[in-house]
Structure 1
Amino acid sequence: MTAVDAQGLVLVLGASAGTALAVMLVTFAIGRAKGLHRIVDIAWGVAFAAVAAVSWALSSGYGDGARRTAVALATVVWGLRLALHIARRGRGHGEDPRYARMLARARGNPTLYALRTVYLLQGALVWLVSLPVQVAVLLPDPLDGVAILGLVLWACGVFFEATGDHQLARFKADPANKGRIMDQGLWSWTRHPNYFGDFLVWWGLYLTACATWQTAALTLVSPIVMSGLLIFGSGKRLLENHMAQRPGYAEYRERTSGFFPRPPRRPATTPRAARR
């Protein structure tokens, strides 16, 4: 296995940081003008796609053509699909309650607070989480079995995420389901098929960068951070706190896995009273 070129790595890491920052600053300007900071959720996927595209362009002459194209294209597909989904879902809605609560607690200038804690923080996370992409495009070796396994995991993740999002959107579009908890399709196997899909996507992309032990160690922080965000951070935990008081949600939690898919549990039955 050939090591990543140090000069190319510095170039890609620096350009990726600048790209993530630029996307978030432009988004901040738009969000401030509209008074709507929820658009940063759209920029999340766009920033990953932009970082992948810049990394691919700058890795020419350093990385293997098939590997760099496959990894960059996979990231762009994932990022743009997510951005379009969030844009469609949020059309016509006001501010996200998460950001409204966050800004209500702000000390000092709420605009600067939003810039620091929403936009710049997410830009830094985009750069950190996308490390496997930035490294994989520089690997000079062709795709191997580990990288192909990573792309298979990526495909499974996109399937889970896109299918879960589609099933939920179709469920919500039916007026008969108003006030009900979605517990059908993939949502009967896990309470968060979309977050589980993200989990698979980023562990899969991590594997594409594991051509050497050095690149595997350098990029391991990426899937660990993403997993932490999805399970303990702004993903599963916050959503479940928001849903906790919904009628029927406690029963749904009892029978459905919290993250990793498994068949739903059968509801507990109350034994009949013994005859006297």
Structure 2
Amino acid sequence: MNVGMLSFLIISVYFFLFFLVGTFIRNNSIVDMGWGIGFVILNLILTFLYPITLGTFIFTVFLTIWGLRLFLHIFKRNYNKPEDFRYATWRKEWGKWVVLRSFFQVYLLQAVFMWVVAFPIHTLYPAKQPITYLTILGVLIWIIGFAFEAIGDKQLSDFIHNPSNKGKIIETGLWKYTRHPNYFGEATLWWGLALISYSLSCNGLSFIGAAFITFSLCFISGVPLLEKRNASKPGYDEYKRKTSVFIPWFPKK
């Protein structure tokens, strides 16, 4: 069994366990908590199956830092709260078919998405190349992306938890330069991981995951949904006019 097939098997079993728990507690939003930590678990399993090199160790460290931070961020946001409105809406719409449709349209779909995004992991093992300047460049790109995601999430969380900001839009910090700094950071750090993986494997398929998650965030699940959700907020049109949608840039006057 090649690494890609093995990875899909591991991811499928992982999300099936989440499906069982989510069905039992009637809360499918737990699948969101499984996203970041799932990559960490997959990568750690593969590190036990293949020889560890300095390159794979570096990759593992940065992937684990990202995955654990994202897991803790989502866990803190969702802990002891009812099912997210998206999954609650689907639960009502699906009626008696909720269990079956949840399996296919929530958990199995997430498994497929994770497998595609995880291409830098599939292609990394077994790593055959030594560390090069491309590895270092990948680390630097990851650091930039991680900073945007982590700082952007923290600034947004602090803004939301301030009662005086209810109904307002955040226009300070990183949010002054891009309307979605956390999404920009997520995409960027995956390009960093892809470059690290490519430098160690010389496999161009390493970039599939980064390309997929960038496209998804920009055109499917990330930016479009939040832009639509925020469109009715006072001042958002002006914020859109002067602030870059994704790639950070100085605001227009």
TM-score where L is the length of structure 2? 0.93
Do the aligned partners of 1:24 and 1:120 also contact (CA within 8 Å) in 2? yes
Counterpart of 2:120? 132
Do the aligned partners of 1:67 and 1:136 also contact (CA within 8 Å) in 2? no
Counterpart of 2:210? 223
Instruction: Please tell me whether residue 245 in structure 1 is matched to residue 236 in structure 2.
Output: no
Identity of aligned residues (%): 35
Aligned mates of 1:159, 1:212 — CA distance in 2? 24
Instruction: Please tell me whether residue 41 in structure 1 is matched to residue 35 in structure 2.
Output: no
Counterpart of 1:204? 192
Do the aligned partners of 2:55 and 2:200 also contact (CA within 8 Å) in 1? no
Counterpart of 2:19? 28
**CA 1:161–1:212: 2 relative to 1, 3 Å:** closer
Aligned mates of 2:139, 2:122 — CA distance in 1? 16
Instruction: Please tell me whether residue 191 in structure 1 is matched to residue 179 in structure 2.
Output: yes
Q: Which moved more, 1:112-121 or 1:206-215?
A: 206-215
Aligned mates of 1:91, 1:180 — CA distance in 2? 24
Q: CA deviation at 1:89?
A: 1.1
Out of 125, 140, 143, the residue aligned to residue 152 of structure 1 is 140
**CA 1:252–1:92: 2 relative to 1, 3 Å:** farther
> Which structure has the larger Rg over C-alpha atoms?
1
Q: CA deviation at 1:143?
A: 1.1
1:263 partner letter:
F
Counterpart of 1:4? none
| Paired residue secondary structure (2:198) | coil
Counterpart of 2:44? 53
Aligned mates of 2:9, 2:61 — CA distance in 1? 20
Aligned mates of 1:34, 1:213 — CA distance in 2? 42
Do the aligned partners of 1:67 and 1:142 also contact (CA within 8 Å) in 2? yes
**CA 1:144–1:42: 2 relative to 1, 3 Å:** same
Q: CA deviation at 1:212?
A: 8.1
Aligned mates of 1:108, 1:224 — CA distance in 2? 37
Q: How does 1:28-177 map to 2 (within 5 A)?
A: 28-60=19-51, 65-106=53-94, 109-177=97-165
> Please, which runs of 5 or more residues in structure 1 have no aligned partner?
1-6, 267-276
What CA deviation, in whole Å up to 9, does each residue of 1:50-71 have, x standing for no partner? 11111222221xx6x1111111
Aligned mates of 2:6, 2:66 — CA distance in 1? 21
Aligned residue pairs total 253
Do the aligned partners of 1:71 and 1:137 also contact (CA within 8 Å) in 2? no
Aligned mates of 1:160, 1:252 — CA distance in 2? 19
